[in-house]
Structure 1
């Protein structure tokens, strides 16, 4: 080297040679430095010199930091995609590669969005293009795989057009972090991923577009001995869980939910010394048992929902002092809930619903003062609601429905002012509904239906709950008092109202101002006479369920020929005294129940447009004439067709749709004549057919 570009040795150590001179640009090139009469071409020494020069110049270089060939590779990678906002699901997504340009002073690729470089060498070691709106395919020739110094690669939440993960991903042998989740890769995960032996984090979670079959899950992970996080959620694996996972002693996070896993889960995985999160939810074929847990376990989340794990919850669960989340929803656990769960004072989420737990709810649950979500529904729990639950002041959701819980609602429960959801339905609770329930100022959903509550209850108590949108009081023994002035009062917009068997004798006037209702149950009350005219305008664009059954209604009044509710799914008028012609609900209706009334006349031809019907029950009326010629069209979706005990006549239509789903047909006690149609043989799901002319 000539002039002021000299090569100097500090302390005679070849490894500490530094470049001394005024210029810095040449540090970007392969440097030749004479040492003891020889030229040195060694990138290591170059990196040491660069490091020294950066230190002397406060970290800045006269030229761009990144390597020319790596900048070129990045630009080629950018050009292989189009930017499409819909390619990323994250609402905050934006195209990070938009900053990748040579214009102006932006040629240093280490300053580009999502690019990370080594401060010493200038090599690109990190690429974070998560949610970058990239759309297009990645193939094995992609310039991405020339960035061989990459240690971290995140391409999550893009759309790679169902291309396969290229096998050349193995070129990136220094990777410690790889996230390809939710990016629309498809097909088999290549075995070459297993060659990335330095990986500590691997996330391939997808929406069932990827699969791991050949090679198997075992083959994929057996070399990844440094893994701390493995997320294969939603990947189609459909296999046993390999025992080898129990050997990954560094593993902290294991996510295998919704993978089609089956067979018995290796119990050794629970005992991994560093495991914090175990998530195997939504693998219904997966069986297993819980082990005895040691106090040294760092487990924080145990997510087993919708699997077939069984047996009892061990008392040693109380040793899992770090647990914040337990989810065993819809498993096969049984026995008593261990009181030792009350030791888990860091729990904020506990879901034991849909098992067969029995005995009392442990009073020790009152110790779980961090708990925000508690779901014990659909078990066989007995005894009273522990008054200790009043200690759970952080609780926002409490589900106890469909158990055998008895006694009264504890007074203290109404002091849980953070509650947004309270569901105590389908139990044996009794006594009066406490008026202090109006203290639950944040309540949005309240279901007390199907219990044994009694006494009178003022509707005004619920009007005070301004956030309440779902209220279910049906099928108790209460008398609901609704003020005459409530119709003129500005009420919250309800979405669900269950007021069946509430001893109402008058349609509640406040309904006339409700335009967001989805569910309305007024069955089993004391309504007489005519349905009020304003009723046909209630929530016309949102109502999905209307139940007026088991009342004493005689007339629908001047209702529209085609009822106005455009989203109606269930329409139930059965067991009244209604007369006149049949009302026709919207064509989207799934269930139509008008049995046990006095409707007369023919079935309107408009009923043929109800192509989504699953249940059609017109039985026990005074309907007459012949069946509409289109009635066979119902076979596409219809499960139950019941028109017994009317005055229909003529022939049963001769054509029934091939592949019919019909399970029950009842034509009995009418005046039909002629032959049974041969096409009924196409109703291969049929379990019951009744064409008797008189009661059997």
Structure 2
């Protein structure tokens, strides 16, 4: 009986084994079977491949490789070209063998695609991915519209250019369309017509960096299947439809970097699937809604550089999935809510450039995953808490420009194993360095250190052991003694406004990575090292306000990347080196207050980027001739030739060519300032820059005023204190972007040209100390921004014009003109004296004028300019916020402590 039972079990197990084996063989057979591709489609693929070069630089992302190279390698038992359904990147229909998918992303393809390409022989194609290649700025072929069954089309980051063809909108089955990261525009068809023709079943629409320049069509609110909408940096306008935020499946919404796009965050009435929300750099305003807690799936919130105000809502702490928060450059106030301690997954917290107050809350100590903490440029007070040293994952700590105080033992930062970027300058701190700690400890290697205004008397010794240090900012301290040599790894050494002495060692020539050197406002001497002649990496050289002597080296002898050169306020002599004409990136050249002896450097006119040129207070001389062509100084906005010995007539030919003074293109209505970007970092969605701001010194009535910032739309001419003669050219009336004009202290004759009435943005006009005659044109009273006006010490006659502006000027603006009369002078006008009639003889310019820019300024700029000075913002976000004009007054050339600085 027992034997029978065992036999029965054996038979059952044997049968089960056979079934399993048979089943396995079945699946093995079917899984190994591949559909055989059609010969015509195989040939089309091979010809498509052969139409391109394989260039590894054509694919920019890591992991790219040329998939098509193995297409010619047959597999065993197949024909010479193989079965194309087995080729890398090729997908076939299992039943028909038709090619239905082609994924050549990151395949290093270089060349062009046109409508005759064999790609369009693949008529059954449903999915096409050509992203991350280089199609040499060709147009998207109109033949794309032939793919009527297409559901997924990805042409991103592949160097396509031009108008998006209307045929794309006819692909009515698309569920995913990605045209981002190219050089495309969407104007005809525009975005509305494109969207209206696409299926409302669309799930992905990515148009990041496509030039759209229109409003966002509200019809997008009907696309209820959308999971991703990318409209980043598209020059969008108008108000963003709030209903789009309520789309039931939307997970990724990126509409940042559209400075003319406005809107607000609505109250969220139900939980939202949003995971990524990027509003950075738009005009979204109001406060962050308290109902933000309904975005409970949110992982990234980027709303920096918007116009949000008010406190951070407590409910933000309920978004426990958040890993990155960027709220910098807004008008947020109040303290950091304690609820943020719940965001234990947070890796990036950016609250810089706000008006946040209170101490740094201890609740942040729970955020142990933090990699970046940016609290700089707020109003935080109290000490730097010791518990920060427990955040072992922290790589960047930005606390500069606050009201933090007390004594800080620097070894707390040595204990932070991951910390590489530390910015604590411009507070009220006193730093203590324990040599025993940092000489024996193995601590993290810094790459960036911002220690400005930290009451340092000497360079800490540990700096010279930092062999990975790339950026060192120690400005506005009390450092004294010889100028030290930074570590060989240094890229940016910024040590201005100290008391350093001696010369620049030749060892600086061995700093192979140095690209920014700022040593202004010290007591350095000697000559400028000749090795700077061969530096092609240097982008900033700021040596102003020292005691350097000798000649200027042949800078840019072999070309280079210099954007700013400031050698003002030294004792340099000789000629301007002609090699400067090779500095093709140069934006600013300032050599004011030296002993240079040369003629006007007309050869600088070939520099395509030069915006600011100051030759003030030197021995430049002779007549300024005519330019070689009409393209001289194409971007010049500010020129200062004052206090030299130029002769002859005013340079009318140059004036007529200064097109950037006729109209300055202002991309955004936000106030921005002239600057050079010396360093650019991308971290998450945050773009950080090291920015140098240009400053100018302005002379009016013998008083020099230093203005820390120059707005991007500022234009000025200062030709004062020379020996120019003749008439004021009427061509100046074409320079309608001018804010400041100074022609004082010359030998000019003739009348004040009525053409000046066209300078509607003019804020300062000084034509004093000349030999001008005739009446002051009544029309000048219509210049609504004119706040500084000086015609003293001429031969003017007649009544002073009436008007709101003129009635506010003091009598010193008109003294020294015995023939003038008016309420501001002791000589009153008789009733019989008539105001001068409008002069109709002046002919308007022939189209050079543009609509006037009427932007508010806190301080009116006068005279104009000399000595460029540099204000620095270290690792702050893209747009420099407006802090007003900082003005200090000096009557003669000062050595120190006459400026206000924003650094770090």
On whether the aligned pair clears a TM of 0.5, the verdict is: yes
Aligned residues: 631
Match of 2:489 among 513, 516, 526: 516
1:602 is aligned to 574
Shift of 1:538: 4.9
1:681 is aligned to 655
Shift of 1:140: 4.2
Q: How is 1:500-515 mapped onto 2 (pairs within 5 angstroms)?
A: 500-507=475-482, 509=484, 511=485, 514-515=487-488
5+ residue gaps in structure 2? 1-22, 662-714, 723-744, 746-890, 893-904
SS in 2 for 1:254: strand
CA change 1:134–1:477 in 2 (3 A) is: closer
Match of 2:417 among 441, 444, 447: 441
How far apart in 2 are the matches of 1:499 and 1:301? 38
SS in 1 for 2:517: strand
Paired residues of 2:162 and 2:183 also in contact (CA < 8 A): no
How far apart in 1 are the matches of 2:206 and 2:272? 21
CA change 1:98–1:493 in 2 (3 A) is: closer
Shift of 1:272: 0.5
CA change 1:232–1:556 in 2 (3 A) is: same
Which moves more between the two structures, 454-463 or 426-435?
454-463
1:105 is aligned to 77
Match of 1:151 among 119, 122, 126: 126
1:450 is aligned to 426
Shift of 1:610: 6.5
Cα RMSD (Å)? 3.5
Paired residues of 1:329 and 1:352 also in contact (CA < 8 A): yes
1:580 to 2:556 alignment: no
Paired residues of 2:327 and 2:350 also in contact (CA < 8 A): yes
How far apart in 1 are the matches of 2:109 and 2:207? 22
Shift of 1:180: 2.3
How far apart in 2 are the matches of 1:601 and 1:317? 64
How far apart in 2 are the matches of 1:692 and 1:227? 68
After superposition, the C-alpha distances for 1:154-200 in whole angstroms (9 at most, x for unaligned) are: 22223445554444444433333222223344443344433433322
Paired residues of 2:613 and 2:640 also in contact (CA < 8 A): yes
Q: Which has the higher contact order (CA 8 A, sep 6+)?
A: 2
CA change 1:392–1:192 in 2 (3 A) is: same
Shift of 1:387: 1.9
Shift of 1:316: 0.8
Match of 2:204 among 216, 224, 229: 229
Q: How is 1:259-274 mapped onto 2 (pairs within 5 angstroms)?
A: 259-274=234-249
How far apart in 2 are the matches of 1:286 and 1:322? 25
Match of 2:29 among 58, 63, 71: 58
How far apart in 2 are the matches of 1:269 and 1:542? 48
Shift of 1:606: 5.1
Paired residues of 1:635 and 1:656 also in contact (CA < 8 A): no
Paired residues of 1:134 and 1:160 also in contact (CA < 8 A): yes
Shift of 1:86: 4.1
Q: How is 1:491-502 mapped onto 2 (pairs within 5 angstroms)?
A: 491-502=466-477
Paired residues of 2:424 and 2:451 also in contact (CA < 8 A): yes
2:721 is aligned to 692
CA change 1:127–1:547 in 2 (3 A) is: closer
How far apart in 1 are the matches of 2:454 and 2:270? 46
Paired residues of 1:507 and 1:527 also in contact (CA < 8 A): yes
SS in 2 for 1:432: strand
1:317 is aligned to 292
Paired residues of 1:608 and 1:630 also in contact (CA < 8 A): no
Match of 2:381 among 390, 406, 420: 406
Shift of 1:418: 0.9
1:238 is aligned to 213
Paired residues of 1:212 and 1:235 also in contact (CA < 8 A): no
Shift of 1:689: 1.3
Shift of 1:447: 1.3
Paired residues of 1:222 and 1:244 also in contact (CA < 8 A): no
How far apart in 2 are the matches of 1:63 and 1:476? 71
Paired residues of 2:515 and 2:537 also in contact (CA < 8 A): yes
Shift of 1:451: 1.7
CA change 1:240–1:675 in 2 (3 A) is: closer
1:568 is aligned to 538
1:633 to 2:633 alignment: no
Which moves more between the two structures, 632-641 or 400-409?
632-641
CA change 1:564–1:505 in 2 (3 A) is: farther
How far apart in 1 are the matches of 2:620 and 2:87? 80
1:88 to 2:66 alignment: no
CA change 1:482–1:434 in 2 (3 A) is: closer
SS in 1 for 2:429: strand
1:333 to 2:308 alignment: yes
Paired residues of 2:416 and 2:444 also in contact (CA < 8 A): no
How far apart in 2 are the matches of 1:472 and 1:71? 60
How far apart in 2 are the matches of 1:562 and 1:161? 37
1:253 to 2:249 alignment: no
After superposition, the C-alpha distances for 1:530-554 in whole angstroms (9 at most, x for unaligned) are: 2264554351x3223222233333x
CA change 1:662–1:90 in 2 (3 A) is: closer
CA change 1:416–1:679 in 2 (3 A) is: same
How far apart in 2 are the matches of 1:475 and 1:517? 21
How far apart in 1 are the matches of 2:33 and 2:531? 82
CA change 1:171–1:380 in 2 (3 A) is: same
Shift of 1:296: 2.1
Match of 1:476 among 434, 447, 454: 454
Q: How is 1:650-689 mapped onto 2 (pairs within 5 angstroms)?
A: 650-651=621-622, 653-655=624-626, 659-660=632-633, 661-669=635-643, 675-679=649-653, 681-682=655-656, 683=658, 685=661, 687-689=716-718
SS in 2 for 1:506: strand
After superposition, the C-alpha distances for 1:455-503 in whole angstroms (9 at most, x for unaligned) are: 54458877754321111101233445634xx69x753232111122333
Shift of 1:75: 4.1
How far apart in 2 are the matches of 1:288 and 1:250? 23
How far apart in 1 are the matches of 2:262 and 2:167? 31
2:742 is aligned to none
CA change 1:454–1:77 in 2 (3 A) is: closer
SS in 1 for 2:29: coil
Paired residues of 2:253 and 2:277 also in contact (CA < 8 A): yes
Shift of 1:285: 2.1
Which moves more between the two structures, 603-612 or 246-255?
603-612
1:193 to 2:157 alignment: no
Q: How is 1:107-186 mapped onto 2 (pairs within 5 angstroms)?
A: 107-186=82-161
CA change 1:460–1:655 in 2 (3 A) is: farther
How far apart in 2 are the matches of 1:68 and 1:687? 70
CA change 1:169–1:538 in 2 (3 A) is: closer
Paired residues of 1:567 and 1:586 also in contact (CA < 8 A): no
1:358 to 2:329 alignment: no
CA change 1:654–1:314 in 2 (3 A) is: same
How far apart in 1 are the matches of 2:459 and 2:331? 38
1:542 to 2:513 alignment: yes
Shift of 1:596: 3.9
Which moves more between the two structures, 517-526 or 677-686?
677-686
How far apart in 2 are the matches of 1:608 and 1:202? 48
How far apart in 2 are the matches of 1:662 and 1:142? 47
SS in 2 for 1:100: helix
2:787 is aligned to none
1:428 is aligned to 403
Shift of 1:302: 0.4
CA change 1:558–1:680 in 2 (3 A) is: closer
Shift of 1:213: 2.6
1:527 to 2:491 alignment: no
When normalised by structure 2's length, the TM-score is 0.63
Q: How is 1:210-221 mapped onto 2 (pairs within 5 angstroms)?
A: 211=186, 213-214=188-189, 216-221=191-196
Paired residues of 1:213 and 1:238 also in contact (CA < 8 A): no
CA change 1:164–1:500 in 2 (3 A) is: closer
